């Protein structure tokens, strides 16, 4: 099961640029370090984290917060127009192809409501047996809900699944689901991935399978 942003492609930069514009517009502090905390968490939770960092939770009413989230998504979706299959991270296409040839079921477990658009633009949607719909997932990572949803829809038990993640929240979600985790350049603060890699170009199907055998 694959996370999208940071594992299949790197949309984190676009998320960052969109939030940065919102932060500037509303006079809030936001930098790349703060952006790390936003990886893998939902759009609304991302805004709440930015407001927490700024101790500004009370400064905006609910309507304003909804407006900020809407605006951020509009900016982000505009940036997504730049994405093509050249944005698939190195090694990913070969890795997915080999896994598929070996009959391994593949799913996308992303917190992004834009996952479908991104996968379409990357041209890799048909590779997957199931793509979770973030709009139907109530609890964001580190809650295991999105991974358990994938297990249910693939008809497999969590302990026989491997999750690929780049975020700390994602690694915690995989662990909470009862699955094994592969980390892609995870900035570990609490829980380390079972099998860490420094980049997608290092991924090797046989090595991953041997490790979790
Ligand atoms: P959207 P992932 C996550 O994707 C991003 O890492 C996170 O930064 C973003 O806030 C979240 O998707 C929601 O995205 O605004 O498009 O619904 O890493 O879970 O694939
Ligand atoms: Mg991610």
Domain residue ranges of the chain, discontinuous segments joined by +: 12-80, 86-211
What ipTM is given for this predicted complex?
0.92
Residue 40: band (very low, low, confident or very high) from pLDDT cuts 50, 70, 90 = confident
pLDDT score of 139 more than 90: yes
14-37 per-position pLDDT tens digit: 999 999 999 999 999 999 999 988
CATH class of 12-80: mainly alpha
Q: In CATH, what class is 86-211? A: alpha beta
189 vs 201: CA distance, rounded Å = 24
Q: Which residue has the tokens 């676009």?
A: 14
180: which strand partners? 162
Based on the residue annotation, tell me whether 48 is a catalytic residue of this protein.
no
Supply the DSSP string of 10-46, one letter for each residue: --HHHHHHHHHHHHHHTT----HHHHHHHTTS-HHHH
Helix (H, G, I), strand (E, B) or coil at 75: helix
Q: Is 194 annotated as a binding residue?
A: no
**Active site (annotated) includes residue 129:** no
Q: What is the pLDDT of residues 96-114, one digit of tens each?
A: 999 999 999 999 999 999 9
Residue from 6, 71, 111 whose mutation best tests the ligand 1 pocket (most atoms within 8 A of CB): 111
pLDDT bracket for residue 188 (50, 70, 90): confident
Is 72 annotated in some ligand binding site? Answer: yes
């Amino acid at each position: 099961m694959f996370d999208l942003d940071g594992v299949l492609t790197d949309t984190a930069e676009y998320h960052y640029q969109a939030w940065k514009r919102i932060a500037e517009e509303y006079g809030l502090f936001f930098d790349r370090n703060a952006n790390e905390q936003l990886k893998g968490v939902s759009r609304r939770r991302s805004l709440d984290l930015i407001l927490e960092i700024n101790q500004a939770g009370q400064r905006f009413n609910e309507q304003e917060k909804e407006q900020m989230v809407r605006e951020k998504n509009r900016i982000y979706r505009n940036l997504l127009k730049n994405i093509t299959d050249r944005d698939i991270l190195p090694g990913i296409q070969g890795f997915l192809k080999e896994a598929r040839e070996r009959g391994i079921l593949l799913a996308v477990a992303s917190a992004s409501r834009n996952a479908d658009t991104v996968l379409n633009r990357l041209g890799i949607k048909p590779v997957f047996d199931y793509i979770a719909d973030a709009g139907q997932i109530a609890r964001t990572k580190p809650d295991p809900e999105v991974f358990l949803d994938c297990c249910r829809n693939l008809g497999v038990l969590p302990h026989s699944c491997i999750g690929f993640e780049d975020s700390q929240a994602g690694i915690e979600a995989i662990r909470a689901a009862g699955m094994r985790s592969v980390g892609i350049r995870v900035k570990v603060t609490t829980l380390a991935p079972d099998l860490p890699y420094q980049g997608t170009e290092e991924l090797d199907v046989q090595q991953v399978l041997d490790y979790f055998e």
